[in-house]
């Protein structure tokens, strides 16, 4: 037994994970080094850039600021979980369709932050989108395309929900 390590159990991308972690290790370090999910990027390690954004219980968090022990009992979603069955999520597809990817380093965190935001705010204004993404930095400066991609994903999501509400009940 490793006396300086703490046992934690959480769900990552729908899979149960049980680990022993050092108390000072961040969720980012554990995801990358122990769980082997490297889509979440390590950049500033100070919560300034948003490259490490993941969802914890559906909320966007900077994984570099959250201790792994704080994730005990939580559901964590990383960029690797958004595409299902080889199909990109609507947000991922919108980023590609709008040329918002550029170098790609910030994109996993940007997509995760945008996904959580649109899930909570299905009809955002452009100003809402800009404010929601203020904690995610893009060194390539492609914010116009990024905002357009989030706007398109939000609009498509809203239209899909409206269509679902109109769909006739197939009955028994």
What domain range includes position 136?
A: 90-166
73 or 164, greater pLDDT: 73
- Same domain for 104 and 146? yes
pTM of the predicted protein model: 0.89
Written as six digits, the tokens of 45 are: 């390690």
What's the pLDDT score for residue 140? 85
Sheet with 53-56: strands ordered across: 15-21, 6-12, 75-77, 53-56, 59-62
Q: Is residue 1 domain-resident?
A: no
171 or 102, greater pLDDT: 102
Q: Is residue 172 domain-resident?
A: no
Q: Is residue 50 domain-resident?
A: yes
**53: enclosing H helix or E strand:** strand 53-56
| Domain limit, last residue, from 81, 107, 134 | 81
- Convert the pLDDT of each residue in 91-130 to its tens digit: 999 999 999 998 889 999 999 999 999 999 989 999 999 9
Written as six digits, the tokens of 122 are: 């299905």
Written as six digits, the tokens of 168 are: 């006739």
Q: Is residue 171 domain-resident?
A: no
What is the tally of structural domains in the chain?
2
Q: Is residue 35 domain-resident?
A: yes
Q: Is residue 25 domain-resident?
A: yes
- Same domain for 67 and 118? no
- Same domain for 54 and 77? yes
- Convert the pLDDT of each residue in 41-70 to its tens digit: 999 999 999 999 999 999 999 999 999 999
- Same domain for 66 and 105? no
| Domain limit, last residue, from 81, 107, 123 | 81
- Same domain for 94 and 155? yes
| Other beta carbons less than 10 A from residue 52's beta carbon | 28
- Same domain for 12 and 75? yes
The span from the first CA to the last CA of the chain, in angstroms, equals 57
- Same domain for 56 and 120? no
């Amino acid at each position: 037994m490793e006396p300086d390590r703490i046992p934690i159990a959480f769900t990552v991308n729908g899979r149960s994970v049980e680990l022993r972690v050092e108390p000072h290790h961040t969720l980012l370090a554990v995801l990358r080094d122990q769980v082997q999910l490297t889509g979440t990027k390590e950049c500033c390690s100070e919560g300034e850039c948003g490259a490490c954004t993941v969802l914890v219980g559906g909320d966007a968090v900077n994984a570099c600021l959250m201790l792994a022990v704080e994730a005990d009992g939580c559901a964590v979603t990383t960029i690797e979980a958004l595409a299902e069955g080889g199909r990109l999520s609507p947000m991922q597809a919108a980023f590609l369709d709008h040329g918002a990817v550029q170098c790609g380093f910030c994109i996993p965190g940007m997509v995760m932050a945008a996904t959580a935001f649109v899930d909570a705010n299905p009809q955002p204004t452009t100003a809402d989108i800009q404010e929601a993404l203020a904690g995610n930095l893009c060194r390539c400066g492609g914010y116009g395309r990024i905002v357009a991609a989030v706007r398109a994903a939000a609009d498509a999501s809203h239209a899909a929900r409206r269509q679902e509400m109109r769909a006739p009940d197939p009955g028994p």
